[in-house]
């Protein structure tokens, strides 16, 4: 765990069940450092990248002060998404810019949109973690809500296999094994599990500047942050290169700096370079 860099206390919308009773809702984040940025940018699974970054940047999650990826995988996706948005704001600021396409089939024009992450709020909720589902055949199964780790595990799954895999992961207790359910029951179960999962309201009401058609766009915290980190990877390496060249710090030392501090050193170098240029003139 790092000891410096900006920190922020976050109240989780749903929280983690306590060993005895009740919920842990408190978490503390510290801004990303270069090591977290680089490790995430080099992954192919955006969910694993997000969980890796959160494990590195959570100084506290409920009762845990040494947070690992397994702790993050146990979070409900709504809590993981809210933590990612708060981490994104702490590291990169509130404004996010994206280029999207108009969804109208006869338009499909690209447009730039601005998202203010500070407007995303999460109300506390306490959904039942498990529930019984009645199948069309009259049988009942007991399922749990999917967690962040389920999304990570299913990221690469083929579309036609997802329902069966999700149900197999989420069946609990004395339920029938997933293989005992027919394909229609697996899909019905997967839909019910998905619908029961609480979500953040991330829908933006937009209007296409070309065709004028109104549409809704949903911000995706995992892909939003992952895209940001992949786009800025080469910039990060350039920054490491300049700091190493001038200060002779090791790569590990430079990557251990929070992004804001790294940028301050680069500003100092730039001011130095400009001042020297003026003297030489």
Q: List phi, psi (to 5°) of 59.
A: -80, -20
Nearer residue to Zn ion within complex by CB, 111 or 192 = 111
Stretch of residues binding Zn ion (CB under 5 A), selected from 100-108, 160-168, 192-200, 245-253: 100-108
Residue with the two structure tokens 């970054």: 53
Kindly state whether residue 104 participates in binding Zn ion, applying the rule CB under 5 A. yes
Nearer residue to Zn ion within complex by CB, 113 or 183 = 113
Nearer residue to Zn ion within complex by CB, 183 or 211 = 211
Site string for Zn ion, 192-211 (x = CB under 5 A): ----------------x-xx
Residue of 40, 78, 85, 102 interacting with Zn ion (CB under 5 A): 102
Number of residues that bind Zn ion (CB under 5 A): 6
Q: Check: CB of residue 114 under 8 Å from CB of residue 97.
A: yes
CB of 56 to Zn ion, least distance (A): 40
User: In the window 106-165, what residues touch Zn ion (CB under 5 A)?
Assistant: 107
CB of 119 to Zn ion, least distance (A): 24
Nearer residue to Zn ion within complex by CB, 35 or 104 = 104
Nearer residue to Zn ion within complex by CB, 157 or 211 = 211
For residue 198, count CB atoms less than 10 angstroms from its CB and return exposed for 0-12, middle for 13-18, buried for 19 or more. Answer: middle
Site string for Zn ion, 22-61 (x = CB under 5 A): ----------------------------------------
Kindly state whether residue 103 participates in binding Zn ion, applying the rule CB under 5 A. no
CB of 109 to Zn ion, least distance (A): 5
CA 42, CA 237: separation in Å to the nearest integer?
Answer: 12
CA 102, CA 107: separation in Å to the nearest integer?
Answer: 6
Site string for Zn ion, 206-235 (x = CB under 5 A): --x-xx------------------------
> For binding to Zn ion (CB under 5 A), which residues are involved?
102, 104, 107, 208, 210-211
């Amino acid at each position: 765990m790092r000891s410096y860099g900006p920190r922020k206390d976050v109240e989780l919308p749903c929280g983690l069940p306590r060993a005895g009773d009740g919920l842990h809702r408190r978490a503390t984040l510290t801004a990303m450092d270069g090591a977290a940025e680089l490790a995430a940018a080099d992954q192919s699974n955006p969910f694993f990248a997000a969980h890796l970054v959160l494990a590195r940047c959570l100084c506290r999650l409920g009762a845990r002060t040494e947070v690992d990826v397994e702790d993050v995988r146990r979070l409900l996706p709504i809590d993981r998404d809210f933590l990612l948005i708060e981490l994104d704001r702490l590291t990169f600021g509130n404004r996010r810019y994206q280029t999207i396409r108009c969804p109208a089939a006869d338009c499909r024009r690209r447009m730039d949109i601005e998202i203010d992450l500070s407007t995303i709020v999460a109300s506390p909720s306490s959904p039942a973690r498990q529930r019984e589902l009645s199948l069309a055949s009259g049988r009942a199964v007991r399922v749990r809500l999917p967690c962040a780790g389920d999304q990570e595990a299913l990221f690469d799954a083929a579309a036609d296999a997802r329902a069966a895999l999700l149900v197999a992961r989420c069946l609990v207790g004395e339920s029938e094994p997933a293989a005992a359910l027919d394909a229609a029951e697996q899909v019905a179960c997967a839909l019910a599990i998905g619908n029961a999962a609480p979500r953040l309201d991330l829908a933006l009401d937009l209007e296409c500047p070309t065709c004028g058609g109104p549409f809704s766009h949903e911000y995706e915290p995992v892909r939003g942050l992952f895209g940001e980190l992949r786009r800025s990877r080469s910039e990060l390496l350039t920054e490491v290169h300049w700091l190493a060249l001038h200060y002779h710090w090791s790569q590990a030392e430079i990557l251990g700096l929070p992004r804001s501090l790294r940028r301050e050193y680069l500003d100092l170098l730039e001011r130095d370079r400009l001042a020297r240029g003026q003297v030489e003139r």
